[in-house]
Structure 1
Amino acid sequence: MPTTAAQHRSVPLVRELVRTYQAFEQLSNIRVREHGLTPAQFDVIATLGNTPGMSCKQLSEKTLITKGTLTGVLDRLLEKQLIVRRVDDKDRRSLFVSLSAAGEAVFDSTFSDVVLHCGSAYDGLSDQEIVDSIAMLSKLRAAISAKLES
């Protein structure tokens, strides 16, 4: 199958997106692990932080963790006493997950540290470059989403 002009254009873009994501993930994961958490555990804690909690279904939709992996992550956070799981009052078939007091303390100590650490990587960019990057990434995400819906 011959390559098209669109393929020639998109390959460098996809490569750069993947490389950027991998670099960001490495930078973030190093800091997360310094706090004694796995990236998946941090994802759950960051998602539950500043919320009253949510159902496991909502949590799986809001995190980057697959449904099958989420159960094990929640089990380990429960063992560390960082979350509380209970039957959802509104739907007795589902579980409601929230941070425990210890989990709130971990959120308070880790979230801003990880965000500031990762954010410092952008110190070399101007405010306008950041605004332009956000706009371009948003436009790219919308184009991909539109393709998924078609």
Structure 2
Amino acid sequence: MDGLSNYLERIQSAFQITLQKMQPKMVESMNENGVTPTQFYVLIYLWKQGSCKISELAEYMGVKPSAVTFMIDRLEQNNFVVREHDKKDRRVVNISLSTEGQEKLNTVIHARKVIAEKFLSYLSEDELAQFALIAEKLAEATTKEN
């Protein structure tokens, strides 16, 4: 177990240093595109879900619906999302990405990818393949933990 502890310390230290360098560049990139990190999080969720209600988004984010309503108002003002009344129950309002919101999300994702590629360019092809396998294995392990 001592070996695991040593590896864990090395991994945590390396990730902390890497994230301290990458995070500000990611945030700056989002800001340049007129999107806050929280808005990016919401846009990604809407992209994955297709559409959702305010209450679903609030539950996912662990915040009150009023906070999400305020955020959706801002995203709607920027034409990133649209509100639509449910066809079966007009009292229900669904939120989804607008065409402009999808385009903005694609732009931000591309900018983030460029930043990540810059950091990953320090790895060889073999190291990238190993890193991808390890990341996939860890992702698989997290699904088993739930």
**TM-score over 0.5 for the alignment?**
yes
Is 1:39 paired with 2:37? yes
Deviations along 1:96-133, one digit per CA (max 9) or x if unpaired, are 22122332342344332332233232222223212211
Q: Distance in 2 between matches of 1:102 and 1:20?
A: 32
Give yes or no for contact 1:46–1:107 (8 Å, CA) kept in 2: yes
Give yes or no for contact 1:32–1:39 (8 Å, CA) kept in 2: yes
Give yes or no for contact 2:51–2:97 (8 Å, CA) kept in 1: no
2:62 alignment counterpart: 67
Q: Distance in 1 between matches of 2:83 and 2:138?
A: 37
2:75 alignment counterpart: 77
Q: Identity of paired residues, percent?
A: 22
Q: Which amino acid aligns with 1:33?
A: N
Q: Distance in 1 between matches of 2:59 and 2:90?
A: 18
Paired residues, number: 140
Work out which of the residue numbers 114, 134, 137 in structure 2 matches 1:136.
134
Deviations along 1:124-147, one digit per CA (max 9) or x if unpaired, are 22232122112112333444554x
Is 1:55 paired with 2:46? no
Unmatched runs of 5 consecutive residues or more in structure 2: none
Q: Distance in 2 between matches of 1:15 and 1:107?
A: 31
CA RMSD of aligned residues (A): 3.4
Q: Which amino acid aligns with 2:50?
A: G
Q: Distance in 1 between matches of 2:72 and 2:5?
A: 41
Greater shift, 83-92 or 129-138, is seen at: 83-92
User: Residue 11 of structure 2 aligns to a residue in which SS?
Assistant: helix
TM-score normalized by structure 2? 0.68
Work out which of the residue numbers 21, 27, 30 in structure 2 matches 1:29.
27
Deviations along 1:27-86, one digit per CA (max 9) or x if unpaired, are 21111111121112123334445x78221437975xxxx231771432321232211123
User: Residue 96 of structure 1 aligns to a residue in which SS?
Assistant: strand
